[in-house]
Amino acid sequence: MKEKDCIFCKIAAGEIPSATLYEDDDFRVILDLGPASKGHALILPKEHYHNLYDIDEEVAAKAMILAKKMVNKLTKVLDCDGYNNENALKPESIDKIKHRMAEIIAADIPFKKIECHTADAIEVFREQGMFDKIELLKTTHELYTQYHTLDGLADSYYSWLTPSTGYLQGFDLVKYNGGVLLVPPMPDAPTEPAPIEPQEKMLNAFKEYLTFNQIIGLSNIGDLNKAVETRQATDLIKVAEALHEKKIGKIADDITRRYHENGTRIVLISGPSSSGKTTFSKRLSIQLMTNLLKPVAISLDNYFVNRTDTPLDETGDYDYESLYALDLDLFNKDLNRLLQGETIEMPTYNFETGEREYRGNTLKLEQGSVLILEGIHGLNPDLTPQIETHLKYRIYVSALTTISIDDHNWIPTADNRLLRRIIRDHKYRGASAQSTIARWGSVRRGEEKWIFPYQENADAMFNSSLLFELAVMKDYAQPILSAVPHDCPEYAEAHRLLRFLGYFQSINQREIPPTSLLREFLGGSSFKY
């Protein structure tokens, strides 16, 4: 219904002239007559509502989708860095939310799990206006669905929940980078919120890919499944691979510029396990060659100290992940000699004997040569303290998974990498999913100690995730995960990952090019590893 004396109803109906940006059956979007900033726009519903609380849930959901589309269009047209929302949370609003969260925790409300026909779950989510979940359920084509309720509110998750809200004791809610950051408790002190460590470069890389997802209209698994069902998977693969190539080419151009301007000769590439560092290094080398440079790869493994000199971890085993498992003095001495134009004899580490050997392999940098050093310690300043900063270019590679399950269930980037590693270990190392999962905790602890603290030292960040890859890995990972015995500790994690993969419609790998980063894990790469 319309309100005859409402000026906005008249504008929405077209009775009053306006600078209209968009119009459909439900809304008219106009430029504000007294703009607070360039591009200030108003979304006007064509039905009259007295206040926000009166808006039909379906109309409200449509408004949010429209707002996202308009933001994407306006930021592109105006060539601006972002947007402002006049309804953005104020500090006092954040305090109210935090207070309400504390009340819910104090009430110790139990989570209830419900299993029902998917059609019934869809109706529950429709009543709550959760249309992203509806799209997901429709495209998974499962007969039964599980969801949880909390005091009558329904939601779904693919990970595990605590029995009740009272289990969460330490948390914080703070304003951060134009939004709100939910701070979890520390693992070793669950009553205390974890310290906030700003990661601006990582955040910017993540946000860039989120924008890319929004532009092509794929924000969650439901969107991806719909694209697969409408036979758009091939186009998605081409676009995602093209984005990778463009980013790698841009990094190569930056290295080339620094080579000519600053004399940069060393490229250091770091990243966590299964981030795709090796394939990235090979593709970067190709791009550098197109810029008339000569990339030369050096394996840091050849600079391991003799096994008997390797530091020990907390369990008494050799800690090959430690920075000090490398002969830093020899490594830096050789680098300096290379940069001075000298010829060096390259060491070779014998993994059978655990000792360094010299086999007559020599190396000298020519005009236009650039050293490529790939390893987990690449961004640690203690790796190359004797090398001047202007001679180094540092790159951080990680799989920053930007597609979500639904609008508030994000996919942890570690899950993406774990699935890559499970497939690779099984294919190339004959390892079971059980053994890979069993080692994953140790791998993650090593990353926390030796990799993540230095990621913000990077001159460039490369997101190695591919929008479609989880849908491709599904058919590879499912049989490997299904082989995990039910009576072992790793079964719970395998079950969780299987449940997660069940959300995806499968994409056949035949369209993936042989140079794809994903080929490092699936096989079929044109690169030699």
pLDDT, one tens digit per residue, over 166-202 is: 998 889 998 887 778 899 999 888 889 999 888 888 8
- Banded model confidence at residue 50, pLDDT cuts 50, 70, 90: low
Distance CA 5, CA 48 (A): 11
Asked whether 169 and 185 are in contact (CB, 8 A), the reply is yes
- Banded model confidence at residue 301, pLDDT cuts 50, 70, 90: confident
Angle at 302 between CA 341 and CA 296, to 5 degrees: 45
pLDDT at 38: 72
Task: Return the domain boundaries, the chain.
Answer: 7-78, 91-193, 200-293+368-522
- Banded model confidence at residue 84, pLDDT cuts 50, 70, 90: low
pLDDT digits (tens, 9 = 90+) for 488-529: 999 999 999 999 999 999 999 999 999 999 999 999 999 998
Distance CA 271, CA 454 (A): 10
Which residues lie below 8 Å from residue 120, measured CB to CB, with a gap of 6+?
Answer: none
What percent of the chain lies above the pLDDT cut of 90? 63
Q: Is the pLDDT of residue 23 over 90?
A: no
Residue whose structure tokens are 């299993």: 115
Q: Is the pLDDT of residue 81 over 80?
A: no
pLDDT at 52: 61
Distance CA 431, CA 480 (A): 10
pLDDT digits (tens, 9 = 90+) for 410-419: 899 999 999 9
What's this model's pTM, rounded to 2 decimal places? Answer: 0.80
Tokens of 166: 């009272």
Tokens of 319: 């800690």
Q: Is the pLDDT of residue 1 over 60?
A: no
Which residues lie below 8 Å from residue 407, measured CB to CB, with a gap of 6+?
Answer: 130, 132, 219, 220
Q: Which of 114, 95, 237 is nearest to 180 (CA)?
A: 95
More confident residue, 38 or 468: 468
Does CATH number 3.30.428.10 belong to domain 7-78?
A: yes
pLDDT at 85: 57
- Banded model confidence at residue 407, pLDDT cuts 50, 70, 90: confident
Average pLDDT score over residue span 399-409: 88
Amino acid letter, residue 371:
L
Which residues lie below 8 Å from residue 210, measured CB to CB, with a gap of 6+?
Answer: 219, 402
Task: Kindly report the number of other CB atoms within 10 A of residue 257's CB atom.
Answer: 12
What percent of the chain lies above the pLDDT cut of 70? 94
